[in-house]
Amino acid sequence: MVNPGPYKRTIGAINDGVFISNMNESQAASHKIRPSRWFYLVALGLIAAGTTCGYKIVAAAINTMQGGLTRAIFPGETIVSFQTAGDYKIYYENQSEFNGRVFDTGQRVPGLSFTVVNNETQETLSLFQPSMSETYNINGRTGRLVFWFRVVKPGSYTVVGRYNDGQPHDEAVFAVGEPHIGRFVGLILGGLACIFVFGGGAVITIILIEVRRYSAEKKLKAAAASAGPVAPPPPL
């Protein structure tokens, strides 16, 4: 007589004979629970996709913000090409990095003087003091608005910056243009939405897997309880 012990007996027609499965009850139950735990990899993939998507969009937002400004060493000059008419701004960066150099000139904005000249007509544009304070902090660079001007005719302009008190000062960095704040905010919100959507999808996937596995396991236990104990096999 063969004692199968805890093993599940399965009878089938194989050459008019009998075979006994080598799978015990717990293994059989685990084998039948669906969906498989491998489906958790789907949730992991969604988390990875959301993280990658969010990172790339935020990086694009930072590049967009920086791309709206032309930077140069102060005192000094730079040539800026304005593609459209509109209002543009000049920022003094008291903390900055430019061409491998690090600048830190403190919060105080010293006496500054700028001129903006149209390279085609040699017209000098009027500069205006800002009516309200405006600052930015982009990737470790801190800028403060000092002047703004209006471009009527798009084209190439030379922007010259210098100290107006005749005293020696440390070199600094100035930036000219218009930060793409609207697009920057839009991209940041898009990055957060990307992370939220993929992260939410991962959470929902995990919950669905857990619910279905729990339901399948519950059904298996109920079926095993209703079937009663497994009868010992007949003598062979």
Match 């309880």 to its residue by tokens.
225
Q: How far apart are CA 233 and CA 158, in angstroms?
A: 98
The tokens of 220 are what?
A: 């298996």
pLDDT at 223: 75
Residues written for the chain? 236
pLDDT at 31: 52
Top-tier CATH class for 69-179: mainly beta
Say how far residue 93 (Cα) sits from the centre of its chain.
Answer: 26
pLDDT at 34: 76
pLDDT at 132: 87
Residues of the chain with pLDDT under 50: 1-2, 4-28
pLDDT tens digit sequence for 125-136? 999 998 888 887
pLDDT at 184: 62
pLDDT at 50: 82
pLDDT tens digit sequence for 56-72? 776 666 655 555 688 88
Specify which residues 138 forms β-bridges with: 141
Q: How far apart are CA 181 and CA 178, in angstroms?
A: 8
Query: Domain-by-domain residue ranges, the chain?
Result: 34-68+183-236, 69-179
**Residue 190, C-beta contacts closer than 8 angstroms, at least 6 positions apart:** 57
pLDDT at 143: 83
Match 């509109």 to its residue by tokens.
86
Closest to 110 in 3D by CA, of 174, 190, 63: 174
pLDDT at 122: 93
Neighbours of 114 (CB within 10 A): 20
